[in-house]
């Protein structure tokens, strides 16, 4: 009995102690940030806190889809979120985000390259809601010792000589993007005939595919376990560093340019602090620090100038000239009905 | 003839051992892989970059991971403890009910276990929002207690049913107060059930990702949510190092517990 009372006391005191330390607040308030996992250099957060005295409450998520219900329900009052293109489209449509006041975020207009704002118009038509943070392309990574000739087209993923040597992305829209682009259609197509053609193409391709993977592409390509894989450009540089036989190409039929951008939520409790935080992130030195930590391409032209490693600075993988392509696109949100239809088609592919 | 018999016996003996061996391979091969990778100097799993301890050093410098670890432990311990107390009390109450009510209550307590975790997670989140409770440490703790209680009841109930009620009544007749009688007569008998209920609740809480994800507030992470956020960029080898340390600690604890002389056995001797 005594023991139990003692235990209860310990419990009560520890709960009290813990809830006590949660309520400490610094003088200049706070900013609550919801970002992808491993998507910022932790030093940057500390530097911001030191400089401004604003406490950063930092939270992370792993996919757009797990972030969305939390933000929609308003479970935690976030100020800033960093979703991908199509998700921003959806959040604008659902009225979850507010217009940014660029006058208070001068660095955003000064340093973020014009071409990235241009590309953002696919999901944020007037550039009112979002500031690009990271971006990249999707392409083919191949092992030049395992293929007979340089690869230039998505068609190679349907080439029977690479049977069991092909890695496809295991996500609905990425997989359909490949098939739609190969057929010469838009990856934001909602046309039934085009989508069915893409589905048939994916079914036709299935016997050749070694595996449908997400982030295992990296390890498998480095380990020479496959000859050809569909991969994000941000991963490509890292894999090349580990295995110099790997080559990354953007296929001639065009591809997906993805952009992860900062948006401010409609009822952000700390609007001013959030603006300061965004302005801080857009400083070239800070953007450079984040680029070095994340390794995904930065849209910050000031930071691009500051990169010391010439190979990276001029890398066509990290910083391809977007104006050179006329068939690159960015994902749009096409509505719930379309999502369901696409999921249904993908299920048919996977179960075939 | 005997030779043949011996040979076949040896063969079945081999088969038995091989079967056990196979089971252990399936159980432990993933853990061994992870432990080996925690010493790999290269970040990718497909290349051996040489032996290193650097991930272990980096682990102890990574405040985010250590904070997540301490959160996990505190939440697991507190939620298991509170759920054990509440669950055991519930068992006593349920046992003193009428048979028909017992069945209904047991059915109701089983529902959360059968319910998909994501449903529990989202409904708890919505409940907290509608009550105006700010999500954070407290909401995660409450949720963990909630889903832990059925597991405690599941473990304690059978033990409690084995207890002969007349010993308890005898204690009362001899002048013990109900509380005193419970702790002196009933509790020692159900202790193994209570203990296994606590352990099960502890591990359930340790493992949980989905419910924690939906009920945690900004800036609070447990190990499972922390690891999951790393999926996009690839899991850091520091996590392998941490998992290795946890595994070894648990292993040592288990060996110690099993090696320790049983105090009861000593008393009898």
| CB-CB under 8 Å, B64 with A42 | yes
Q: Which of B217, B227, B240 is the best residue to mutate to test the A interface, defined by the most A CB atoms within 10 Å of its own CB?
A: B217
Spans in chain A with pLDDT lower than 50? 1-26
Pairing of strands A257-265, A131-143: antiparallel
Q: What is the CATH number of the domain that holds B153?
A: 1.10.3720.10
Alpha helices in chain B (DSSP H): 2-37, 54-61, 63-95, 99-114, 117-131, 137-162, 165-173, 178-181, 187-207, 210-215, 223-229, 237-259, 263-268
Residues facing A134 on adjacent strands: A260
**Which of A216, A244, A236 lies closest to A140, judged by CA?**
A236
- Torsion over CA: A5, A10, A13, A15 (sign): negative
| CB-CB under 8 Å, B138 with A218 | no
pLDDT value at residue B134: 85
Give the CA angle between residues B88, B93, B95 to the nearest 5°.
Answer: 95
Q: Is position B96 within any domain?
A: yes
> Which chain B residues are closer than 8 Å to A60 by Cβ?
221, 225-226, 229
CA dist list (Å): B107 to A259, B117, B150, B153 = 49, 18, 10, 12
Closest Cα in chain B, distance from residue A232 (Å): 11
Nearest CA in chain A to B228: A62
Give residue B160's domain range.
63-234
pLDDT value at residue A95: 92
Q: Is position B15 within any domain?
A: no
pLDDT value at residue A93: 93
**According to the 3-state scheme, what is the secondary structure of A228-285?**
EEEEEHHHHHHHHHHCCCEEEECCCCCCEEEEEEEEEECCCCCHHHHHHHHHHHCCHH
For residues B201 and B220, give the distance between their C-alpha atoms in angstroms, rounded to a whole number.
21
Q: Is position B100 within any domain?
A: yes
For residues A90 and A65, give the distance between their C-alpha atoms in angstroms, rounded to a whole number.
11
For residues B42 and A196, give the distance between their C-alpha atoms in angstroms, rounded to a whole number.
43
Q: Is position B255 within any domain?
A: no
pLDDT value at residue B263: 58
Based on the structure, what is the number of domains in chain B?
A: 1
Q: b/e string for B170-195 if b means 16 or more Cβ within 10 A?
A: ebeeeebeeeebbeebbeeebeebbe
Q: Is position B99 within any domain?
A: yes
Burial class of residue A250, CB neighbours in 10 A (0-12, 13-18, 19+):
buried
pLDDT tens readout for residues A31-87: 999 999 889 999 999 999 999 999 999 988 888 888 898 898 887 789 999 999 999
Q: Is position B121 within any domain?
A: yes
pLDDT value at residue B26: 94
Q: Which domains does chain A have, with CATH numbers?
A: 27-135+258-323 (3.40.190.10), 136-256+328-351 (3.40.190.10)
Q: Quick one: how far is CA A126 from the chain centroid?
A: 21
> Which chain A residues are closer than 8 Å to B129 by Cβ?
73-75
Q: b/e string for A145-167 if b means 16 or more Cβ within 10 A?
A: eebeeebeebebbbbeebeebbb
pLDDT value at residue B8: 87
pLDDT tens per residue across all 269 residues of chain B: 577 788 888 899 999 999 999 999 999 999 999 899 899 888 777 778 888 888 899 888 888 888 999 999 999 999 999 999 999 999 999 998 898 999 899 998 888 888 888 899 999 999 998 898 888 899 999 999 999 999 999 999 999 999 888 989 999 999 999 999 999 999 999 999 999 999 999 989 988 999 998 898 888 888 888 888 887 777 788 888 988 998 898 888 888 878 766 655 545 44
- Ranges of beta strands (E only) in chain A are 30-36, 55-61, 80-81, 97-98, 131-143, 166-169, 209-213, 228-232, 246-249, 257-265
Q: Is position B138 within any domain?
A: yes
Nearest CA in chain B to A61: B229
| CB-CB under 8 Å, A76 with B229 | no
- Torsion over CA: A121, A122, A125, A130 (sign): negative
pTM for this structure? 0.81
**According to the 3-state scheme, what is the secondary structure of B190-257?**
HHHHHHHHHHHHHHHHHHCCHHHHHHCCCCCCCHHHHHHHCCCCCCCHHHHHHHHHHHHHHHHHHHHH
| CB-CB under 8 Å, B138 with A223 | no
Q: b/e string for A8-47 if b means 16 or more Cβ within 10 A?
A: eeeeeeebeebeeeeeeeeeeebbbbbbbbbbbbeebbee
| CB-CB under 8 Å, A70 with B214 | yes
Phi, psi (deg, nearest 5) at residue B144:
-65, -40
**Which of A170, A111, A149 lies closest to A305, judged by CA?**
A111
**Side-chain-side CA neighbours of residue B9 (13 Å):** 6
pLDDT tens readout for residues A197-214: 999 999 999 999 999 987
């Amino acid at each position: 009995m005594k023991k139990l009372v003692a235990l209860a006391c310990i419990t009560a005191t520890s709960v009290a102690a813990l809830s006590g330390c949660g309520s400490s607040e610094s003088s200049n308030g706070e900013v609550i940030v919801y970002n992808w996992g491993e998507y910022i250099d932790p030093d940057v957060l500390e530097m911001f806190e030191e400089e401004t005295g604003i406490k950063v409450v930092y939270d992370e998520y792993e996919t757009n889809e797990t972030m969305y219900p939390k933000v929609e329900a308003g479970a935690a009052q976030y100020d800033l979120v960093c979703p991908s293109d199509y998700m921003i489209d959806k959040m604008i449509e659902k009225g979850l985000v507010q217009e940014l006041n660029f006058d208070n975020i001068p660095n955003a207009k000064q340093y973020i390259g014009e071409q990235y704002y241009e590309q953002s118009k696919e999901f944020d038509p007037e550039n009112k809601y979002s500031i690009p943070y990271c971006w990249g392309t999707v392409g083919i990574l191949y092992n030049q010792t395992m293929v007979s000739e340089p690869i230039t087209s998505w068609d190679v993923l349907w080439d029977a000589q690479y049977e069991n040597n092909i890695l496809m992305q295991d996500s609905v829209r990425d997989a359909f993007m490949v098939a739609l682009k190969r057929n010469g259609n838009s990856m934001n197509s909602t046309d039934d005939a085009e989508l069915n053609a893409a589905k048939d193409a994916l079914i036709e391709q299935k016997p050749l595919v070694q595996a449908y993977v997400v982030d295992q592409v990296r390890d498998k390509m480095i380990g020479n376990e496959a000859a050809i894989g569909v991969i994000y450009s941000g991963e490509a540089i890292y894999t090349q560093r580990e295995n110099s036989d790997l080559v990354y190409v953007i296929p001639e039929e065009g591809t997906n340019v993805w952009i992860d951008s900062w948006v401010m939520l409609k009822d952000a409790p700390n609007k001013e602090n959030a603006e300061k935080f965004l302005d801080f992130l857009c400083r070239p030195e800070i953007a450079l620090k984040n680029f070095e930590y994340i390794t995904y391409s930065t849209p910050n032209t000031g930071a691009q100038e500051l990169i010391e490693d010439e190979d990276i600075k001029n890398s066509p993988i990290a910083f391809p000239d977007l104006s050179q392509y006329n068939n690159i696109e960015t994902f749009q949100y096409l509505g719930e009905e379309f999502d369901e239809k696409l999921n249904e088609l993908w299920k048919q592919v996977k179960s075939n | 003839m005997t030779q043949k018999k011996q040979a076949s016996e040896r063969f079945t003996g081999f088969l038995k051992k091989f079967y056990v061996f196979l089971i252990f391979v399936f159980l432990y091969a993933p853990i061994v892989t992870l432990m080996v990778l925690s010493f790999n100097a290269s970040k990718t799993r497909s290349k051996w970059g040489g032996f290193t301890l650097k991930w272990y050093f980096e682990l102890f410098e990574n405040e985010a991971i250590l904070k997540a670890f301490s959160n996990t432990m505190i939440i697991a311990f507190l939620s298991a403890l509170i759920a054990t107390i509440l669950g055991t009390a519930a068992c006593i109450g349920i046992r003193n009910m009428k048979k028909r009510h017992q069945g209904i209550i047991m059915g109701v307590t089983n529902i959360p276990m059968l319910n998909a975790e994501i449903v529990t997670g989202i409904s708890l989140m919505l409940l907290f929002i509608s009550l105006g409770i700010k999500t954070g440490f407290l909401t995660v703790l409450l949720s963990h207690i909630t889903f832990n209680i059925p597991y405690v009841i599941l473990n304690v109930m059978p033990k409690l049913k084995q207890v002969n009620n007349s010993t308890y009544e005898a204690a009362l007749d001899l002048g013990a107060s109900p509380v005193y009688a419970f702790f002196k007569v009933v509790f020692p008998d159900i202790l193994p059930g209570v203990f296994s209920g606590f352990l099960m609740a502890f591990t359930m809480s340790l493992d949980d990702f989905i419910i924690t994800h939906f009920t945690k507030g900004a800036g609070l992470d447990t190990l499972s949510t922390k690891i999951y956020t790393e999926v996009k960029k690839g899991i850091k080898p520091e996590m392998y190092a941490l998992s290795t340390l946890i595994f070894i600690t648990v292993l040592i604890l288990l060996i110690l517990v099993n090696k320790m002389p049983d105090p009861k056995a000593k008393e009898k001797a």
